[in-house]
A = this chain, B = another copy of it.
Amino acid sequence: MDLQSVMGTAGQAAKKMFRGMTDEMQMCIQNCTLCYQICSLMITHCLEKGGAHSSPKHIQALQDCAGACAVSADFMIRGSDLHSRFCGVCAEACIACAVSCEALADDEMMKTCADVCRRCADSCQQMASHH
């Protein structure tokens, strides 16, 4: 099975399992999951670049964002009432991380990471506004 089919099959299974949720929440789970993955990957990437990219402040922004996204996704998936509270904090972490990435955006990966963070922040702010 190739990557395309895996993604397709995964998408269908996710769609079936999450159908009890609003589209907005399903989107937010996917945005948080992707943002967690990208930020985790970027820590390794930025440490390899070195210099300002491996500054404690930038790496912490990536760690904060990855951690906040993982916990927000978890609370949404489990259907917890507290999810909107975590989404609110997550939106802050995502914006801080986007700002940090934009200041260092000297390659395609940094720019993509900033975009993913911005999109996730919007999605989380929407979820947070429901409470």
Contact = CB atoms under 8 A, between A and B. Distances in A.
B13 A116 contact: yes
A3 B16 contact: no
A104 interface: no
Chain A residues touching B, range: 35 or more
Copy count, this protein chain: 4
A63 B78 contact: yes
A47 to B, nearest CB: 4
Interface string A53-74: 0111001100110011001011
Interface string A26-45: 11011101100110110110
13 contacts: A7-B30, A10-B30, A13-B38, A13-B112, A14-B38, A16-B109, A18-B41, A41-B78, A41-B79, A43-B78, A47-B56, A63-B80, A67-B75
